[in-house]
Amino acid sequence: MILVNKFVLSGYNFDAGISLMVYQNFISVVTVTILSFLGVISTEPLTWRLIKVWLPVNVIFVGMLITSMFSLKYINVAMVTVLKNVTNVITAVGEMYLFNKRHDNRVWAALFLMIISAISGGITDLSFHAVGYAWQIINCFLTASYSLTLRRVMDTAKQVTKSGNLNEFSMVLLNNSLSLPLGVLLVIVFNEVDYLSRTPLLRLPSFWLVMTLSGFLGLAISFTSMWFLHQTGATTYSLVGSLNKIPLSVAGILLFKVPTSLENSASIFFGKLALLNGLD
């Protein structure tokens, strides 16, 4: 998803990241609604009680997506993946204090190495951009907050549904539906409407195809993320989710022809080795 968003924002030079997020979430809502209407899947009705329980985590969800879009405008994919390791550390600490979960020394050692990798990666980044790094650090805190909060909200939300259960498709529908009005409001606040009215990209069928496909990809990621987090804890979810960053770093450097140095490349792969050690 990072590669696709980077391609849309940088490859097409599309300067409306919030609008991209809104469209992707809209595709998810429409797809799940159609599948539910056809009887392929079952979803819980969206009641006010359920919405009130879910709304706080949804605000974090929207913030997480938007800050990710903003950071991708300034930072190369490889460095985004390294900096996202900070999320693992924040999640582990949060899980320890909020849920009294203990991690063994090997996990803490791996997390420490990830921090060193992120710091050294930033120092040796030839395309360093302070604004992009600031957005990415904010994104790390929001992503960690999302995984920690979502796990607790999942259990609370079940208690206010008619069936006493809340499956993954219902959670995806709820999450993405609630994000739409907030996303539209932010599009207006950040004046993306003016940009959208002027950009010629919206007249390109290929651009719409890429955006629509990214929406389907976002739906798949949302569903699998909900399912996995429901089965495990926040730290495990965060660490396993980082495994895709290993090929992603290489692909990002090669596809977008990112200028790099031996020291920067070493820091990137050092962080990935730390991740593998933590999951060993």
Domains in the chain: boundaries: 2-279
Mean per-residue pLDDT, 36-65: 91
Q: Which two tokens stand for residue 25?
A: 């979430």
Please state, rounded to an integer, the average pLDDT across all residues of the chain.
79
pLDDT tens sequence across 140-172 = 999 889 888 887 888 888 888 877 778 889 999
Q: Which residues does 201 contact at the CB level (< 8 Å), separation at least 6? A: 12, 14, 207
Do 214 and 4 contact (CB within 8 A), yes or no?
yes
Mean per-residue pLDDT, 232-253: 54
Do 55 and 123 contact (CB within 8 A), yes or no?
no
90 has pLDDT over 80: yes
139 has pLDDT over 70: yes
The reply to whether the predicted model has a pTM over 0.85 is no
24 has pLDDT over 90: yes
Q: Which two tokens stand for residue 121?
A: 């990666």
22 vs 269: which has the higher pLDDT: 22
Environment class of 205 (CB within 10 Å of its CB; exposed 0-12, middle 13-18, buried 19+): exposed
In the block, residue with structure tokens 């790099």: 260
Mean per-residue pLDDT, 213-221: 91
Q: Which residues does 57 contact at the CB level (< 8 Å), separation at least 6? A: 146, 149, 150, 153, 175
pLDDT class of 251 with cuts at 50, 70, 90 = very low
253 vs 14: which has the higher pLDDT: 14
